[in-house]
């Protein structure tokens, strides 16, 4: 849930999304807070909506979305970076 431009806790839901999982290029790491830059991360590109603080399970591990861009000019998709939880 977004209130006044800030994400706030809402009801927890579960959904299956289709996404492409990629390595995060060095030029994109700057999108993350400094304390997350040394952690394992993945890049997610999806036509399904992704939002900050979403938890994505991939390859048996949980990743928290720390950065997301809505890419409209190139097509309707989301470009996000997820940082592995529990490190």
Q: What is the largest CA-CA distance in the chain?
A: 35
What does the alpha-carbon distance between residue 63 and residue 74 come to, in Å, rounded to a whole number?
Answer: 25
- Asked if the model's pLDDT at residue 20 lies above 60, the reply is yes
pLDDT grade for 9, boundaries at 50, 70 and 90: low
Per-residue pLDDT tens over the stretch 24-76:
998 889 889 899 999 999 999 999 989 999 999 999 999 999 999 887 776 68
pTM of this prediction? 0.80
What does the alpha-carbon distance between residue 37 and residue 39 come to, in Å, rounded to a whole number?
Answer: 6
What does the alpha-carbon distance between residue 24 and residue 42 come to, in Å, rounded to a whole number?
Answer: 6
- Asked if the model's pLDDT at residue 5 lies above 70, the reply is no
- List the 41-46 sheet strands across, edge first: 19-22, 41-46, 77-84, 61-71, 55-58
């Amino acid at each position: 849930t977004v209130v006044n431009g800030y994400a706030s806790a809402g009801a927890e839901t579960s959904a299956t999304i289709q996404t492409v999982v990629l390595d995060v290029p060095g030029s994109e790491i700057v999108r993350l807070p400094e304390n997350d830059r040394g952690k394992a991360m993945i890049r997610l590109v999806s036509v399904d909506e992704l939002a900050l603080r979403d938890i994505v399970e991939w390859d048996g591990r949980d990743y928290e979305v720390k950065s997301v861009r809505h890419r409209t000019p190139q097509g309707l998709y989301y470009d996000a970076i997820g940082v592995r939880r529990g490190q």
